[in-house]
Structure 1
């Protein structure tokens, strides 16, 4: 028995915006074909969209384990690991922002894994600003603006950091 019918049902659930049901259908497809890397990958995407990052990483890892040379699976897993690092850094900054060094390290690693991680640039710029390193905060937030020229928060922070650099606050 293969899992194609379950995959079809999962996609129908996604189109109906029922991601929990989609997850159930993907899991049934995997039960039918546990070594089908594509099914693990698809489930990983659905978990990621549902903000279930650890589950997403687990299935992305399984997909890559099953198809070690698949660059799409490898990149997807990198992006998920980047999101995980951003979340850890964000928590670290909100708990003990006076020790921003660890968060900065995590955010730089996240950007290495996913150079398009806009949130990582925004949080990294905030970490630099907290240390009153407004030049680096400005430089970092401008990377976010380059990624998304219409991102209002990034543009506002760029103006703020530029003013603080000018007046050396």
Structure 2
């Protein structure tokens, strides 16, 4: 079977909401032509939609390696890497507050890779707030609200963090 035939079968599977079968077909396409960046990219998207971020990132990375000039592949890889960092940071919230600085670092990297990640900006604001760093908390939430001015949680947190910042500043002065 040729690669393009496998790709057609993969898309048929996607239309039938059978993502696991789509993955099988994309993998078959790659087996016929492992140097085809587009096949790796398409498989990466399907893995990402299936919640398999590590495999998605591996194939996105392969697509970029095979065709570094294609901006779509690069942006997709950066989005996946940012998503992985955001998930790592989120896990750190359950640990000690000292680990929140690591979460902040991961989230800062995530928003550099994917400046449209609302979740990363939200979590960055929350992490800064928990660390009693209210100025950067406000700044992170403001960035979130630039992306989604009606973000209900962001609007509430912005008001809360501004109030806490005022209280903090009045105590320290």
For Structure 1 versus Structure 2, the TM-score category normalised by the shorter chain is over 0.9
Comparing 64-73 and 111-120, the one that deviates more:
64-73
1:134 paired residue number: 134
TM-score by length of 2: 0.90
Partner deviation per Cα, 1:18-68 (whole Å, 9 max, x = no partner)? 211111111111112211110100000111111111100110111111112
Match runs of 1:96-115 below 5 Å: 96-115=96-115
1:30 paired residue number: 30
2:11 paired residue number: 11
User: Which stretches in structure 1 are left out of the alignment for 5+ residues?
Assistant: none
User: Which stretches in structure 2 are left out of the alignment for 5+ residues?
Assistant: none
Structure 1 segments of 4+ aligned residues over 4 angstroms from their partners: none
Partner deviation per Cα, 1:109-138 (whole Å, 9 max, x = no partner)? 111111111111011001110011222211
Deviation of the 1:140 alpha carbon: 0.8
Distance in 2 (CA, whole Å) between partners of 1:109 and 1:128 is: 15
1:153 paired residue number: 153
2:89 paired residue number: 89
Q: Is the 8 A contact 2:86 2:106 kept in 1?
A: yes
TM-score by length of 1: 0.92
Distance in 2 (CA, whole Å) between partners of 1:125 and 1:150 is: 16
